[in-house]
Structure 1
């Protein structure tokens, strides 16, 4: 009987102890975390100092907020998880009512000093959790989300058809690679797919690929372990094509078509100057979009300069042709006036029939006969005919107008060929082959 009583008491004691182990307090007491532990909070949690702590990072891209070409920065919204192992924080879940994890303030445990080398954001954009998640196998997880502004060397040579490669480099600030090794939890394809599914905003960019580079060290001995996330993004160029490239091409075509406008009243020259001013406005817009750099001038800047130069030369040619036409008209007017002075009807000597009769015939008193009136009429007709012939046969030089026409035709042929070659070269060197697919 006493044996059965002993067994029952033992079972009751075990059940009571099991029930008491179902609290976090008993688990923290078992792990010696119920009070301040200086060692666990300040030293790397390994049983041997030569043991390497493997820190695994998981980056998730939530959005591409802004790309600043002038400041050479990229602003993204990221989620970062950091995992590492603590050799002193392990327990059997079965001993504590299947407790597999719990949260604890970060100040109570050691955390790796990992930073992002390209980080240029302010401290207010970082939202780090004040707690760590501790798992039964000794793994610890720290989470953070951040509006990350990172520096990136942007290659704008084929803007707006550019594709940028920006690195997000994680590294330990004061710990060499013999103590901390950085790695990743997931592979490239998984991270890329999850980021595309979780992307909230793209802006004018689309995510192409996320590549993870591990086992990268930098610096002199002792070397520091780095983990690089290579983010590949591509710009959506359609808006720039519609509001910038197509208007430039259209203005260039209008300038070519202006050669079919007549030279009268200066309409052709004024039209070309209007086209040139429109291109100047587009150049001012381009100046606000791109950074000032002389190392590698973008193709779009070369395109604008080429269009501006072609239209400028066209304006100069129109001014030359207009000058030659005006010069020809002025010379023609001067020569016409000189010829009119020589054969002007007022200067022609009019014959007085009374004087003629007085010189050779006796003067007849009374009205002239019909024969004499007919002679006077014939003399006036001959004088008018001589005047008309002299004006028609007067020299009116048109050599300047002919020179202007020849210059205009030759320049139009060369200008048309140059514009065609220029647009073809721009198309093959600038626009990607898959743009229209």
Structure 2
């Protein structure tokens, strides 16, 4: 008995849904036919052709996927947001069964050709083309998600205590400022409410700025909106695996000044100092992906570079002292070879 009642309720619900669809379906179909019958996707949707079309632009930063320091690239997961008004897509909802909004594929409508200028993606445009939400007052909302690969100038002078500022510049590719005017959606810049934290980088902020630039090629002004992703490296890993070992070994080197040059303890300490080079090879491993070029001397960072220079001076100081005092016997040729070999390897590794 209960089974029959449940089956009856299911059939009744399906019947109601079918009746509702059959009533709404023809109105939406008729509306689409009327709107798109004479619609031209190449026409800029403005009532007065001398007026610029205002497009509200914003973005939501979902995740920082990777900071490619070697190739100087930033890979992010971002949702764009473009909103404009198309005067060709207006209707009275009472004439179409109360239909107030539609979802239309972007290839059937005009949409702003906004691209990221500093894109390094193979296809240049890394967005997924979703439907455009069109309302009866002509308002159009386009929110394409995408994986963006942008160029970013990496400056690791203060590695591992460095901050990076990576810009993402968006603008129309063919329309100038007199035809299409970009408006920043929020004065706070990018939306960070759904941001997923990164294990290596801490997000400081993402301000946005509108720019109007006149290029040498063209007399018309061009409008772009530039977002700056401000990130800071998390230093906990590098502090315990790089800075602390270097400081400890540098402290051991200071003990060498308290020992006589010919004492056995100094030789023992010298053997312990052989592990110093292994510590200094740590920056090479941690910065294997840094950018190559004329700024290669900056890749180790000034704090680590200072520690290395202090260690080299400490190692050379006892031998300089011997040269300044002729009464003290010079080290053997084997010691000289070892000194120059070690120091040469140290300087070459910088």
Structure holding more helix per residue: 1
Distance 1:300 1:257 in 2: 26
Larger Rg: 1
Deviation digits for residues 259-314 of structure 1 (CA, Å, limit 9, x no counterpart): 44561276246336514423442343355143334458538444444433433343
- 1:148–1:110: structure 2 CA closer, same or farther, 3 Å change rule? same
TM-score of the pair, normalised by structure 2: 0.76
Change (3 A) 1:136 1:217: farther
In structure 2, list runs of 5 or more residues that go unmatched: 1-22, 332-350
Q: Does the alignment pair 1:180 with 2:183?
A: no
Q: Are 1:214 and 2:218 an aligned pair?
A: no
The 5 Å alignment of 1:144-155 reads: 144-155=144-155
Q: Give runs of aligned pairs for residues 50-199 of structure 1, distance below 5 A.
A: 50-123=50-123, 126-188=126-188, 191-192=190-191, 195=192, 197-199=193-195
Residue from 200, 204, 219 that aligns with 1:204: 200
Residues 1:281 and 2:292 are matched in the alignment? no
Q: TM-score, normalised by structure 1?
A: 0.62
Could you say if the C-alpha distance between residues 65 and 203 of structure 1 is closer, same or farther in structure 2, counting changes exceeding 3 Å?
A: farther
Post-superposition CA distance 1:135-186 (Å, at most 9, x none): 1110112221111111112222222222222221111111111100011333
- Structure 1 CA distance for aligned equivalents of residues 24 and 309 of structure 2: 87
- Root-mean-square deviation over aligned CA pairs: 3.2
The corresponding residue for 1:46 is 46
Count how many residue pairs are aligned between Structure 1 and Structure 2: 305
Give, in angstroms, the shift of residue 115 of structure 1.
0.5
Q: Helix, strand or coil for the counterpart of 1:312?
A: helix
Instruction: Measure how far apart 1:214 and its partner are.
Output: 2.1
Instruction: Identify the residue that residue 252 of structure 1 maps to in structure 2.
Output: 250
Please report how far the alpha carbon of residue 227 of structure 1 lies from its aligned counterpart in structure 2 after TM superposition: 1.4
Give unpaired runs (5+ residues) of structure 1.
Answer: 1-18, 328-398, 405-437
User: Which residues of 2 match residues 403-422 of structure 1 at below 5 A?
Assistant: none
Q: Secondary structure of 1:128's match?
A: coil
Q: CA deviation at 1:123?
A: 3.4
The superposition leaves residues 191-234 of structure 1 with CA deviations (integer Å, 9 ceiling, x where unpaired) of 44xx1x31124231122222121253342412221111222222
Name which structure has the greater RCO, CA cutoff 8 Å, separation 6+: 2
CA distance in 2, matches of 1:303, 1:98: 68
Aligned match of 1:241: 239
Q: Contact 1:116 / 1:169 at 8 angstroms: preserved in 2?
A: yes
For the 8 Å contact 1:276–1:312, the answer to whether it is kept is no
Q: 1:307 to 1:92 in 2, by over 3 A?
A: same
Partner residue in 1 for 2:347: none
Instruction: Answer 1 or 2: which has greater strand percent.
Output: 2
